[in-house]
Amino acid sequence: MPSLDSNIEFLKGVGPQRAETLKSELGIFTCRDLLFHFPFRYVDRTKFHKIRDVHSEGEMVQFRGILRRLETLGAGRARRLVGSLRDETGMVELVWFQSLHWLEKSLQVGKEYIVFGRLSEFNGRFNITHPEMEEVAKAAGEDGVVGPGKTFDPVYPSTDKLSQKGLDTKGLRKLMRTLLDGLAPNELPETLPDYLIGQFRLCSKWRALSDIHFPENQNDLDAATRRIKFEELLFLQLRILQLRTRRKDTIRGFVFERIGDIFNKFYEEKLPFELTNAQKRVVKELRADMATGKQMNRLVQGDVGSGKTVVALMAMLIALDNERKSDDAPFQACLMAPTEILAQQHFTGLTELLSDLGVTIGYLSGSVKGKKRQAVLEQLASGDLQILIGTHALIEDWVQFKNLGISIIDEQHRFGVEQRSKLWRKNPDGPPHVLVMTATPIPRTLAMTLYGDLDVSVIDELPPGRKPITTKHFNEHHRLRVQGFMKEEIAKGRQVYVVYPMIEETEKLDLQNLMSGYEAISRDFPAPQYQISIVHGKMKAADKDYEMQRFVRGETQIMVATTVIEVGVNVPNASVMVIENAERFGLSQLHQLRGRVGRGAEESHCLLLTGFKLSNEGKERIQTMVRTQDGFEIAEVDLKLRGPGNIEGTQQSGMLRFLLADLARDGQILTAAREIATRILEADPALAAPEHGRLRMHLASEGKEARVWSRIS
Ligand code: ADP
Ligand code: MG
């Protein structure tokens, strides 16, 4: 019997040819790889459905019946193989679009089959597309019994090529049996301490891996699943927490102990409002971070409109009030935003907030060129410029600070990891403190994982006086009503956004759509009574800025735009957000867009316009928006609908690849794993205690992956 790490070729029943196919089709090189090739579902052979009794589309069904008909219909892309299956209660249609040739040869009319698949409805009739077929005669167990008597059968993902080599689900089951039967339990050593296994009533590692392939019943399968998920999430948390401790211990940071004139003067004389308690708390946390002598690495999460900008500004002022020990050079600060519009707005806003304080503040982006750019760069290098605000341009190598003390990144999920880390290197004296901000609410479970090695502050309170935003859903029929409503609001002196979707894949069409929308609005809202701005990503920066400024100054009442306005734009007098083709936007995008209104003291409205027919998912997104304004609730729904891999900022991480764990569904296990990992590391940071030997060994054996993860933040 080969060991777990031996080449799959040497497992009985494999051989060189099958080994080749296993490698190319499934990436299975060793026996261990095979063991971790988990079933993607199970067939409960204990029951057959009756064709007459099933009614709901989408249901997974298993029938036993005679194949009555099999024929190829259509041509070209519509070519399909259609069969009819009859049991004693009725008839159901079977349809295939792929592997027709192979199926035609292997299926036989008149034979009895076990048919398994998902029920769908077409023209009022049920069918099963691409059902799994197993001939009854061949499916019988050794005792000749089909169905009852057998319990759970694993189903493995397979391909044509695998099937041709006899490695369909049945073939793979057989190999898996051979492997498990030949495996000595000590080949799969336990990885969790006994006390945890006892405390959480987990099954052993050996048992879990064996049962994940061949459970006797649902209970065994559930226990195996729970054990494997728990282990995955526990090790993930241990890794993240260890990285974080290590970082905190090793990366020194500038010490900003002083709260000086600039900060105090701003706070006492310039700040136009009272900070919310949440803002005060976060400012305190930032102050504490920057005084420790370790580099600050903090994420500030706060829903749209929660007032992150002023918090960031105060962190910058703390830097400005402090000096480098060696030459008394005061520290500088920078703020980077993902779009020109947003960066401009920050520049204008902060310049105003800082007026009369004697603070110098500059702006830099790709569109700042020639002499202007030269001037900014010189002042930056000489230290004359204290605060720099801008876009991606800030991270370019030619941008050199004299003494950068803090880097702030707004809407951080819009930036890549690499881009963020470049700001670290802008001071040869040592890394500046880093503050990243995001308005994309991330569910707690995901934040714990994604940002597990950052410190997180949450601004969980909106400034007072905000009126809630009323959100309504309209379709094409209501267009006139929507228009009438816009006119009413404009008559009251308010401003209106009309947003169109724009994605790369359908850019041309989207742009046409936007332009014809703009023309229609221009007709319905004629000049000179109405003035309209338009902003989209294909415009020159200067034009965008011009249009934007007209809207900000209130010279235009309507802003027709794409999602370029999604991020951070702040026009308090705008109280209506109309979103065209709302079904095409993701939930977090819709939430961000809605956050553009409700910023003043006026009652605000969000109107979601869609077509008539919506997919289930589209419907749920719209309903969620209408139901709630709570960013975190919306993020939870988003996570459920899309899965964690699609949440902004997680794609690049690659760390969320699990065998079984699912961050959208396993929040409870994740929370438990997080708590346990924290407790373990608090008591035994190096995992040196004998009872943690297994944990230590397992972590060490997977150290390579951990290194990749350390780059995430
Ligand atoms: P976001 O968190 O979305 O970046 P901003 O920082 O743009 O939010 O703030 C939104 C608006 O709220 C701005 O007009 C800002 O001046 C205002 N604001 C921020 N904090 C307060 C506060 N404590 N009281 C009143 N208004 C505030
Ligand atoms: Mg903002």
Secondary structure of 561-590 in the HEC alphabet? ECHHHCCCCCCCCEEEEEECCHHHCCHHHH
Query: Which residue puts its alpha carbon closest to atom 12 of ligand 1?
Result: 307
Enumerate the H helices of 646-692 as residue ranges.
667-683
How far is the centre of ligand 1, averaged over its atoms, from the C-alpha of 99 (Å)? Answer: 59
Looking at ligand 1, which residue's alpha carbon is closest to its atom 25? Answer: 463
Q: Which range is least confidently modeled, 80-84, 229-233, 299-303, 488-492? A: 299-303
Instruction: Report pLDDT for 144.
Output: 53
Judge if the beta carbon of residue 273 lies within 6 A of ligand 1: yes
Neighbouring CB atoms inside 10 A of 417's CB total 13
Q: What is the mean pLDDT of residues 551-569?
A: 85
Ligand 1: which residue has its CA nearest to atom 17?
A: 307
Q: What is the pLDDT of residue 116?
A: 85
Most ligand 1 atoms within 8 A of CB, residue of 276, 570, 596, 629 to mutate: 570
Distance 605 CA to ligand 2 centre (A): 20
Distances (CA, A) of 223 to 121, 135, 220: 35, 32, 5
The pLDDT tens digits of the residues spanning 326-341 come to 899 999 999 999 888 8
pLDDT at 708: 38
The residue that leads in pLDDT, 197 or 102, is 197
Q: Whose CA is nearest to atom 18 of ligand 1?
A: 307
Task: Taking the CA atoms of 99, 100, 104 and 109 in sequence, report the sign of the dihedral they define.
Answer: positive
302 C-beta closer than 6 A to ligand 1? yes
Q: How far apart are CA 621 and CA 588, in angstroms?
A: 10
The ligand with the least distance to the CA atom of 305 is 1
Assign 141 a pLDDT band (cuts: 50, 70, 90). Answer: low
Give the 3-state secondary structure of residue 237. helix
**290-303 pLDDT per residue, tens:** 999 999 989 898 88
**Tokens of residue 280, six digits:** 């005060």
Nearest Cα residue to atom 24 of ligand 1: 463
Span from the CA of 444 to the centroid of ligand 1 (angstroms): 23
pLDDT at 425: 82
Give distance in angstroms: CA of 566 to centre of ligand 1.
16
Instruction: Note if the pTM is more than 0.95.
Output: no
Q: What's the pLDDT score for residue 600?
A: 79
pLDDT at 677 over 50: yes
Mean pLDDT check: name the lowest of 59-63, 268-272, 352-356, 451-455. 451-455
User: Greater confidence, 234 or 668?
Assistant: 234
Q: What is the pLDDT of residue 384?
A: 96
**320 with 387: CB under 8 angstroms?**
yes
Query: Is pLDDT above 90 for 382?
Result: yes
Cα 567 to middle of ligand 1, angstroms: 14
Comparing CA positions, the residue from 507, 333, 304, 482 lying closest to residue 406 is: 333
pLDDT-derived band at 644, boundaries 50, 70, 90: low
Mean pLDDT, to the nearest integer, of 50-75?
86
pLDDT tens, position by position, 592-604: 899 889 887 789 9
What pLDDT, on a 0 to 100 scale, did the predictor assign at position 437?
Answer: 92
The phi and psi torsions of 588 (rounded to 5 degrees) equal -70, -30
Task: Name which residue leads in pLDDT, 47 or 713.
Answer: 47
Q: Is the CB of 333 under 6 A from ligand 1?
A: no
Least reliable range by pLDDT among 120-129, 215-224, 303-312: 120-129
* Res 159: pLDDT: 83
- Number of continuous H segments (helices) and E segments (strands) in the chain: 25, 21
Ligand 1 pocket residue status of 308, Cβ below 6 Å: yes
Residue 662 has pLDDT above 90, yes or no: no
Neighbours of 312 (CB within 10 A): 25
Q: What is the DSSP string of 192-234?
A: S-HHHHHHTTPPPHHHHHHHHHS-SSHHHHHHHHHHHHHHHHH
- pLDDT score of 517: 92
In one-letter notation, the amino acid at residue 356 is: D
**At 170, is the pLDDT very low, low, confident or very high (cuts 50, 70, 90)?**
confident
Residue entry with tokens 């961050």: 663
Q: Cα–chain-centroid distance for residue 514? A: 28
Name the residue type at position 24.
S
Q: Taking the CA atoms of the chain, what radius of gyration do you get in angstroms?
A: 31
Q: Does the beta carbon of 591 lie inside 6 Å of ligand 1?
A: no
